[in-house]
Amino acid sequence: MRILLPKEQRRKEEKKRKRKRKRKREKEEEEEEEEERREEKRREEKRREEKRREEKRREEKRKERILYFIWKGPTTVT
């Protein structure tokens, strides 16, 4: 390996720092994207869970109405 002149050495070190900063920035961006994906998954799961609960409530109300009309019996219109 040859001895570099001070100017060449500085350029080489600067290139190295630049690559390092670039890798670091890319890694941070990747982590942010991953965090966004996890957040989106959580929100989606919450939506699904809320839909399930709402569907359950509707089903219970429907059953209650059916049971009420069975219990009440036939009505006559006057």
Q: Tell me whether residue 77 is in a domain.
A: no
Domain around 67: 1-71
Tokens of 54: 């709402």
Determine, yes or no, domain membership for 76: no
Residue 78 lies in a domain: no
- Please give the model's pTM, rounded to 2 decimal places: 0.57
Residue 18 has pLDDT above 90, yes or no: yes
What's the total number of domains in the chain?
1
Summarised one tens digit per residue, pLDDT across range 21-74 is 999 999 999 999 999 999 999 999 999 999 999 999 999 999 999 888 887 877
34 assigned to some structural domain? yes
In DSSP notation, 8-57 reads HHHHHHHHHHHHHHHHHHHHHHHHHHHHHHHHHHHHHHHHHHHHHHHHHH
In a domain, 33, yes or no: yes
